[in-house]
Amino acid sequence: MQDEGKKPIGLERVKQWLYAKGLDQRSSGCVLCGSCYGHGPANPMEDVPGPKEKCPPYEFYKFQRHTPKSRWLMAQRVFHGLDPITPELKEVMYACTNCLMCQELCGVRGDGYGPWDITVAMREEITAKDGPMAVHRPIYDGLQQHDNPWAQPKAERGAWAQGLGLTKLSESKASTLLFAGCSADRASGRSGVIALAQLMQQAGEDFAILGDEEKCCGLYAFDLGFRREYERLKDDNLARLQHAGIKRVVVACGSCQRIWREYAKEAGAGFQVIHGVEYVEQLVQSGRLKFTKPVNKKVTYHDSCHLGRGCGVYAAPRNILRAIPGIQLVDGVPEADPALAEWNAADRMREAAETGAELMLTSSALCQRSFNELKSIGVPSQDLLEFAWQAL
Ligand code: SF4
Ligand code: SF4
């Protein structure tokens, strides 16, 4: 169902990928090759799971209906009126952890869109018809009432910056904005943005923050299918930016970065979006930041799905670590299905432990929250920029 005068949402929004009536159109739809979940034509027996190429819900449940291609086909059948939206279909659509792997691996479309886009559109369809899933209702209400997925009171937004001597955009002029993100609202998720702000101050950067006027970027609204909420938050954030004449947004969270890049695509690239690790890498490469204190540790770095696959940022965090003397670098979704989310985080943690690392570094407060909840496996984790701060 579409509201009068509003942009299409749900399956209507992606209908060009779902029609597939003529043969020429079918070639741009799913061809069932299986590449999207690591079991493509080269491994049709599915007997050798790729170590990196895992669709978490499929690896966890081992049922074909939990593959990205099945989600695409289910959405197509709903779009054509062949199947209703059932509780089982909702369960499958919301088991996807938004890891973006299928999006990266599926080559059937040449326009950058893939199976995960269909899953998101199907979630929008579900929300438009039946409302948010009961388990996501608090997130939905939190966004509507507090502009925050965890319903943190608006007055507490920006508390992470207390005592740092930062400037608020509403009280000054600046061309660079540091966007903290909702994770910074919780004591457990603010170490990364604090370290980023300190590193920027140390390098003499001129920047401002939004403080208590900052709103959620809309990540959860986008990924869970609350399209109208996403559009509202995006419009509010963009209006504030454009009013203040911001030319560059430095984002502290990998997931916010993915969403801010969506904004930039739609807004016509009137401003640059860059993650804190990319920014700090530039400061290091230009000599404005220099790590002088050795940190003798064996560490590994965990690529967050949204900063890595979503934004292609892989080199910057590793380059920062290589600039710290003494470091030995070894490479190696929690709301709807806690058991799957825990299995997924534990699987990443096991891979980190196999490298022999003493510490796992991340650039995502959301990943760090998942890892911190795993007390039994044993590799401690820390935000990469918080770790780098000690080497100055
Ligand atoms: S979604 Fe893409 S990669 Fe997956 S089976 Fe279909 S065409 Fe192949
Ligand atoms: S984005 Fe979802 S469907 Fe795609 S690989 Fe990840 S969990 Fe599977």
Residue 109 has pLDDT above 80, yes or no: no
Name the residue of 101, 120, 255, 309 to mutate for ligand 2: max ligand atoms within 8 A of Cβ.
Answer: 101
Query: Cβ contacts of residue 151 below 8 Å, gap of 6+?
Result: 138, 141, 142, 145
365 lines ligand 2 (CB under 6 A): no
Q: Are residues 327 and 272 in the same domain?
A: no
What integer pLDDT is reported at residue 335 of this predicted model? Answer: 42
What integer pLDDT is reported at residue 344 of this predicted model? Answer: 67
Nearest CA to ligand 2 atom 2: 96
- Chain length of the chain: 392
Q: Which residue has the higher pLDDT, 371 or 327?
A: 327
Within a domain: 153: yes
Nearest CA to ligand 2 atom 3: 68
Ligand 2 atom closest to residue 100's alpha carbon, by position in its atom list: 1
* Residue pair 83/74 in contact by the 8 Å Cβ criterion: yes
Q: Mean pLDDT across the stretch 254-262?
A: 91
Ligand 2 atom closest to residue 105's alpha carbon, by position in its atom list: 5
Question: Which CATH number belongs to the domain containing residue 342 in this structure?
Answer: 3.40.50.11810
Q: Are residues 141 and 270 in the same domain?
A: yes
CA of 115 to the centre of ligand 2 (A): 8
Q: Are residues 265 and 231 in the same domain?
A: yes
Tell me which of 110, 130, 150 is where a domain ends. 130
Q: Which residue has the higher pLDDT, 39 or 264?
A: 264
The model's confidence at residue 144, banded by pLDDT at 50, 70 and 90, is very high
* Tens digit of each residue's pLDDT (9 = 90 or more) over 191-250: 999 999 999 999 999 999 999 999 999 999 999 999 999 999 999 999 888 888 899 999
CA of 37 to the centre of ligand 2 (A): 8
Question: Which CATH number belongs to the domain containing residue 275 in this structure?
Answer: 3.40.50
Q: Are residues 245 and 356 in the same domain?
A: no
What integer pLDDT is reported at residue 236 of this predicted model? Answer: 93
Within a domain: 62: yes
Q: How many domains does the chain have?
A: 3
Q: Which domain holds residue 292?
A: 287-389
The model's confidence at residue 122, banded by pLDDT at 50, 70 and 90, is very high
Residue 153 has pLDDT above 70, yes or no: yes
* Tens digit of each residue's pLDDT (9 = 90 or more) over 59-85: 888 899 999 999 999 999 999 999 999
CA dihedral angle for residue 299, residue 96, residue 117, residue 112, rounded to 10 degrees: 30
Q: Are residues 313 and 371 in the same domain?
A: yes
Tell me which of 130, 145, 175 is where a domain ends. 130
Q: Are residues 161 and 90 in the same domain?
A: no
Q: Are residues 198 and 110 in the same domain?
A: no
68 lines ligand 1 (CB under 6 A): yes
Q: Are residues 121 and 177 in the same domain?
A: no
Q: How far is Cα 213 from Cα 158, in angstroms, rounded to an integer?
A: 8
Q: Are residues 141 and 276 in the same domain?
A: yes
* Residue pair 219/258 in contact by the 8 Å Cβ criterion: yes
Within a domain: 2: no
Q: Are residues 28 and 117 in the same domain?
A: yes
* Tens digit of each residue's pLDDT (9 = 90 or more) over 306-341: 888 889 899 999 999 999 999 999 875 334 556 666
Within a domain: 5: no
CA of 102 to the centre of ligand 1 (A): 8
Tell me the C-alpha to C-alpha distance, in Å, between residue 347 and each of 156, 353, 356, 378, 380: 35, 10, 15, 13, 15
**Which ligand sits closest to the CA of 105?**
1
Within a domain: 1: no
Question: Which CATH number belongs to the domain containing residue 120 in this structure?
Answer: 1.10.1060
Name the residue of 14, 17, 27, 33 to mutate for ligand 1: max ligand atoms within 8 A of Cβ.
Answer: 33
Block residue for tokens 């993915």: 258
Ligand 2 atom closest to residue 115's alpha carbon, by position in its atom list: 4
Residue 24 has pLDDT above 70, yes or no: no
Please state, for a pLDDT cut of 90, what percent of the chain lies above it.
52
Tell me which of 282, 307, 329 is where a domain ends. 282
Q: Mean pLDDT across the stretch 45-55?
A: 61
What integer pLDDT is reported at residue 1 of this predicted model? Answer: 44
Nearest CA to ligand 1 atom 8: 33
Amino acid at 102: C
Nearest Cα to 184, choosing from 261, 318, 276? 276
